[in-house]
Amino acid sequence: MLIIGLTGSIATGKSTVSALLSAPPYSLPIIDADLIARQVVEPGMPAYRAIVSYFGPSTPDLLLPDSEDNKGRPLNRPALGRRVFGDSEERKRDRMILNKIVHPAVRREIYKALLYYYLRGHWAVVLDVPLLFESGMDVICGTVVVVGVHDPAVQMQRLRARDPHLSAEDAENRVRSQGDVLGKVTKAEFRGTSNARGVIIWNDGDRTDLEKEVQRAMSTISASSPRWWSWFLLLAPPLGAASAVWNMAVNFTTKKSWDQKAQREKAKL
């Protein structure tokens, strides 16, 4: 089964691409890391208790009133966002702590979903993760697709149009928290565009343009990993396991080369 890692930055159109891929003619299953991240912090979950324990004493508005189903007081996400988004050392520390609480729980659910779709015989699954590179989950992906825009101003305009309650500062903090999308584009291209290990979907135009970009991307991906190959790996589990190990080895090697390249460029400054 081909794992297609889908990433980008906030307001670049990643969710729209995900919706297109889940619908015909592609009809790919989507593993949405953001959705899973919301589920693992629902009242009563271990991650929820850890967040309340750490952030609750210093964030009075961390919890909303009781929900109608009486499961408990859900997290006040805007309040938590204000606590962790930003460039100050305090916010960086709090964001790191939040990630250490949430990420392990999300990973467990992702791996369970991958196993489920593999056993169902799907030729490919989309792993939708905003911080795909930053979390290191790109190493399990056969293909990484980055949804990007050339102009950061377009990204800011879309975000504030979508979430009008955000101030200019809040919007900028959220964009920065998910990293430079052009940097993600460069990382994907470094994986290799000729063999479809890295694919870029540009979303600078309207929806029609985006649909054409998605069609082009999926044609490239399908040609590099045909459906018969996925079925062959499913019917021959040892070969499937060997293929997965080989893929991860290639990705680890590529990641190491990228890190070395970044260090050399940093040394020149």
Angle formed at CA 71 by CA 69 and CA 72, multiple of 5 degrees: 120
User: Quick check: bond before 130 cis, omega within 30?
Assistant: no
- CA-CA distance, 220 to 33, in Å (whole number)? 25
- CA-CA distance, 220 to 199, in Å (whole number)? 8
Which residue blocks in 136-180 are alpha helix, DSSP H?
152-162, 168-177
* CB burial readout 156-172, b (16+ within 10 A) else e: bebbbeeeeebeeebbb
Domains located in the chain, CATH noted: 1-29+122-269 (3.40.50.300), 35-121 (no CATH)
* CB burial readout 239-249, b (16+ within 10 A) else e: ebeebbeebee
Question: Are the beta carbons of 8 and 132 closer than 8 angstroms?
Answer: no
What does the block give as tokens for 9?
A: 């930055």
What does the block give as tokens for 231?
A: 């079925």
Question: pLDDT by residue for the chain (269 residues), tens digit each?
Answer: 899 999 998 889 899 999 999 999 999 999 999 999 999 999 989 999 999 999 999 888 899 887 655 567 899 988 898 888 888 888 889 999 999 999 899 999 999 999 999 888 899 999 999 889 988 999 999 999 999 998 877 888 888 788 778 777 777 777 776 668 889 999 999 999 989 999 999 999 899 999 999 999 999 999 998 888 888 887 888 888 898 899 999 999 999 999 998 888 888 76
- CA-CA distance, 177 to 32, in Å (whole number)? 18
